[in-house]
Amino acid sequence: MTKPKLPKTIQGIRLPAEWEPHRATHLAFPFNKQDWPGKFIPVLWAFIEIVRHLAPHEKIHLAVEDDAARRRAERMCKDAGIETGVLEFHIASLDRGWMRDISPFFIMDPRGRLSAVKYRFNGWAKYDNHTRDERWSGEIAGALKLPLHPAIHKGRPVVLEGGAVDTNGCGDLLTTEECLLDKTCQVRNPGFSRQDYEAVFRKHLGIRNVLWLGAGITGDDTHGHIDDICRFVTPTTVVLCRETNPKDINYPVLEENRERLEGLRLHGGQPLTVIDLPMPSPLFFRGFRLPASYANFYIANNTVLVPTLTMQRTTGPWEYWLNCFPTGTWRESTPWTWYGDLARCTACRTRSR
């Protein structure tokens, strides 16, 4: 992968892109069986597969509920042939442990020093059992001995999940109006306008330009997270989910997002290159349409973890990954739908591919 030139953004801080070299990936060993109805044991082994793919390339900070969970995770990793020396365990009582959403945002100053920004987590403004997840930002920042800066705007803490935004590391940020601006459903920050969010992103993340899409796909209980529909893969390129069936419920939403992107520009005035990412065939569980998408991938050091869902390895979205991530970048896969939110990277100035 070609390394982009990484500018120092306004305010002297910068939110790195996911593809930049980083020290470690943060994961939480699954424990909430309600999040995986009828599939908890298979999910544990799918999780271990994620660890197996990451372990050769970087350190893993692994949150576990207690000592019993730590021992179980160690035993399963050893059974899978994983070198457990790359694991650093953190005993943490969490509610769900979706690390992309509950972790702090890791930013860099002009001298390359790392610090963390804490946004409030309120269970996607939907679930009451979120108070233990809310504490995770402070706990992990303390464990890593990083300065922690609370995001405050208009005198109150700002609610934001990592999956609600995506950045190219060069001052541009993607998000959706459905997630952040809806005034009646799953409201994160009552009364906040587009201008309020842009001010928050500018002050606390060094963002110069916010690219607003409309809504997310159906079935997404986060109410419009960007990481399920559109992602940066280079400083000037995004992949955008595209539904080709006009009768599918996601078709008009994704077409509107495509039209919006065609009219948007990066902060330097450049147009975006948009790569189509096909939607998988609809997936249902107990009659409920799942928010299945190939966009919920995770870029680690030398490795890209991609949900396989309904695709065949020799066709479909694999062609798009080959275009997005050049030869020499590892590509691994897992059959599970929502694993992308399990991961959260920590950017580091000293690590290179």
Encoded tokens for 327: 């030869």
Residues 175, 160 contacting (CB under 8 angstroms): no
CA distance 24 to 60: 5
Domain boundaries, given as residue ranges, for the chain: 11-347
What is the spatial distance between Cα 235 and Cα 4, in angstroms, rounded to a whole number? Answer: 7
Alpha-carbon distances of 196 from 165, 167, 216, rounded to whole Å = 15, 18, 21
Model pLDDT, residue 338: 45
What pLDDT shows up at residue 10?
47
Contact 8, 110 (CB under 8 A): yes
Give the ranges where the chain is alpha helix by DSSP (H). 40-54, 67-79, 99-102, 131-134, 136-143, 177-181, 194-205, 251-263, 318-324
Q: Among the CATH numbers 3.40.47.10, 3.75.10.10, 3.40.50.970, 1.10.510.10, which is that of 11-347?
A: 3.75.10.10
| pLDDT (0 to 100) of residue 349 | 29
Alpha-carbon distance of 128 to 25, in angstroms, equals 27
CA distance 228 to 329: 22
pTM, 2 dp = 0.90
Q: Which residues pair with 307 in a beta bridge?
A: 334
Ordered per-residue pLDDT tens for the chain, 353 residues: 444 444 444 468 999 999 999 899 999 999 988 888 888 898 899 899 999 999 999 999 999 999 999 999 999 999 999 999 999 999 999 999 899 999 999 999 988 899 999 999 999 999 999 999 999 999 999 999 999 999 999 999 999 999 999 999 999 999 999 999 999 999 999 999 999 999 999 999 999 999 999 999 999 999 999 999 999 999 999 999 999 999 999 999 999 999 999 999 999 999 999 999 999 989 888 898 989 898 988 888 888 888 877 665 445 566 666 677 764 444 444 444 444 455 545 543 223 22
How far apart (Å, rounded) are the C-alpha atoms in residues 57 and 147? 26
Closest CA to 21 of 37, 9, 6, 36: 6
Neighbouring residues of 16: CB distance < 8 A, sequence distance ≥ 6 = 6, 22, 106, 107, 108, 167, 169, 347
Of the candidates 231, 226, 253, 227, which has an alpha carbon nearest to the alpha carbon of residue 242?
253
Q: Among 217, 236, 238, 219, which residue's Cα sits nearest to residue 228?
A: 217
What are residue 344's DSSP bridge partners? 26
